[in-house]
Chain A
Amino acid sequence: MREISPGSLLPLERELCERFEQCLLGTVNSDEHLVWRGRYLTANIVVQIGATSFLVRIEEGKIKECQKGLPLLCSTVFAVKGTTKAWAAFWENPPKPKWHDIFALTKFGEMSIEGNLQPFMANLQYMKDVLAAPRKGGVK
């Protein structure tokens, strides 16, 4: 596994990574309706915040694991990669115009969505809500 030294991350990126890691499982899995909406999605995906990658294991809409760093040769279905600035603005509550949606961020060059996008698009609102989970109490 690629080792990440906490000291090597910029303060904002470290803060965002901690926020994502700490809240993803609890926020998603405690929302019964959100899990139900994602019930047909089982996939390993990558979420990248700045230079830091997370492996997120989704099983029938539940987040089973959110692991910092990618194991060697791990297979993933799709990846959502954003700049530190993008995630920081996206998770503001409320987010500002042009930073409020993942497609705004991709359109304006702050995010990319890569890989096999069929499961992503087939579960699009679920995925948008999962990615917005760190925006506690925020709009979806």
Chain B
Amino acid sequence: MTKLEPIVGRYTTIQIMGNDCRVYFEEAGQGIPLVCGHTAGADSRQFRHLLCDEEITKHFRVLTFDMPWHGKSTPPVGYNRYEYKLTTQLYVETIRAFCRALELDRPVFMGCSIGGRITLELANSHGAEFRALIGLEAADHQQPWYDTSWLHRPDVHGGEVCAALCSGLVGATSPEEYRHETLWMYMQGGPGVFKGDLYFYRVDSDLRGKLGNIDTARTPLYLLTGEYDLSCTPEDTMRTASTIPGAKVTIMKDMGHFPMSENPKRFRGYIFPMLEEIRQLGRPAAKGQKA
């Protein structure tokens, strides 16, 4: 028999802000729940390497889900009657609803890009619900670099233009195989979904000066950004971290905006020690040591 990957995919219906949403999620492993949030206009496949990493899944129950409208999750009933726009409130409630539905006990949340931005909001407004938070390519704000109206119009192919724009976000030396796998996911998004996600990013989530409630002593916050990320630059992340006492910043060499999918081996080198650190937090203190 052919070798099977350890990833298991399931569907569940969860209520998000009054709407029943059929959501697809994948998981592997056991132990501390680690929920992974994909980037705008993409889906949970971005985290497949993490879910297949036995050194991680022997201590972590790694879960990742397609947000409604994305991947194999369906949009809410009636989606055909309005334009999709992700708001900060909808995004926060989607993540919290998923964690509640799966009865996860103080999970770690790790999100990338828009998932990185929402990590900051989760840390600020709901930090106590999480064991630790990891923002990949995360900043409280960043300067736009193109007009998002190009993403959804009849005379430009949405999938192709989304991927072509994102091709510049991948690190210049990331492996060709993974570069194009990452871009393929962008070619497969529904019409207007990437643009709708970016409503959150560009319009509804300027967090500058609004992160004063973050308590990194209670919930550690890690921020990791690739040096090739032209959207969320290392400077954006470092500026953000400078306003959050205790936030730990890592700038990832040779990496772009999609570390987990564009260069999984290199990303592992950065994320594994942090997950080990988080795992140690949950251990009872040895005699004579503070917890």
Residues of chain A whose beta carbon lies under 8 Å from any beta carbon of chain B: 94-95, 97-98, 100-104, 106-107, 117-118, 121-122, 124-125, 128, 139-140
Please report whether the interface of chain B is mostly helix, strand, loop or mixed according to DSSP.
loop
Query: Quick one: CB contact mask for B160-180 with A, threshold 8 Å, 1 for yes?
Result: 110111011100110010010
With a cutoff of 8 Å between Cβ atoms, the chain B residues found around residue A121 in the complex are: 150, 156, 161
Q: Which residue of B lies closest to A98 (CB)?
A: B230
8 Å CB contacts to A: which residues of B108-148?
143, 145-146
Given that A103-B230, A107-B145, A107-B230 are known contacts, is A139 also in contact with B172, CB under 8 Å in the complex? yes
What are 17 pairs between A and B in contact, CB < 8 Å? A95-B172, A97-B228, A100-B228, A100-B230, A101-B167, A103-B145, A103-B230, A107-B145, A117-B150, A118-B156, A121-B156, A125-B163, A125-B164, A128-B168, A139-B173, A139-B179, A140-B167
Task: Tell me how far the C-beta of B176 lies from the nearest C-beta in chain A, rounded to whole angstroms.
Answer: 8
Complex CA gap A94/B256 in Å reads 14
Residues of chain B within 8 A of A124, CB atoms compared: 160-161, 164-165
User: What string of 1s and 0s marks CB contacts (under 8 Å) between B61-74 and chain A?
Assistant: 00000000000000
Q: A122-B161, A125-B160 are in contact. Are A104 and B168 (CB under 8 A)?
A: yes
Chain B residue with Cβ nearest A94: B172
Q: Known: A94-B172, A97-B227, A103-B230. Is A125-B167 also a contact (CB below 8 A)?
A: yes
A118 CB contacts on chain B under 8 angstroms? 155-156
Contacts of A94 in B (CB 8 A): 172-173
B208 within 8 A of A: no
Once the chains are docked, how many angstroms separate the CA of A98 from the CA of B146? 15
CA distance A139 to B171 in the complex (A): 10
Range for the number of chain B residues in contact with chain A: 20 to 34
Q: CB distance B172 to A106 under 8 Å?
A: no
Say if the beta carbon of B157 comes within 8 Å of chain A.
yes
**With A98-B230, A122-B155, A139-B172 as contacts: A106 and B145 at CB distance below 8 Å:** yes
A129 → chain B, closest Cβ, in Å? 9
Interface pair B165/A122, CB less than 8 Å apart: no
Most central of B155, B164, B233 by chain A CB within 10 Å: B164
Q: Which residues of A contact B150 (CB under 8 A)?
A: 117, 121
- Chain A residue with minimal CB distance to B228? A97
A residues in contact with B161, CB < 8 Å: 121-122, 124
If A139-B173, A140-B167 touch, whether A104 touches B160 (CB-CB below 8 Å) is no
CB <8 Å contact, B168 and A100: yes
Whole-angstrom distance between the Cβ of A88 and the nearest chain B Cβ: 15
Within the assembled complex, what's the spacing in Å between the Cα atoms of A136 and B54? 39
The residue from A100, A122, A139, A140 contacting B156, defined by CB atoms under 8 A apart: A122
* Docked-complex contact B157 and A122, CB < 8 angstroms: yes
Chain B residues contacting A100 (CB-CB under 8 Å) are 168, 172, 228, 230
CA distance A118 to B169 in the complex (A): 21
Residues of B within 8 A of A102 (CB): 168
- Asked if residues A128 and B230 are in contact (CB atoms below 8 Å), the reply is no
Give 7 closest A-B pairs by Cβ, nearest first.
Answer: A101-B168, A124-B164, A125-B164, A104-B230, A94-B172, A107-B145, A97-B227
| Shortest distance between the CB of A106 and any CB in chain B (Å) | 7
Q: Which of B167, B173, B230 has the most CB of A within 10 A?
A: B230
Which residues of chain B are within 8 angstroms of A117 by Cβ–Cβ distance?
150
Which B residues lie within 8 Å of A107 (CB)? 143, 145, 230
User: In the complex, A71 Cα to B7 Cα: how many Å?
Assistant: 61
A20 CA / B230 CA spacing, docked (Å)? 25
11 other A-B residue contacts (CB within 8 Å) besides A103-B145, A121-B156, A139-B179: A94-B172, A95-B172, A101-B167, A103-B168, A121-B150, A125-B160, A125-B163, A125-B164, A125-B167, A128-B167, A139-B176
CA gap between A106 and B165 in the complex, in Å: 13
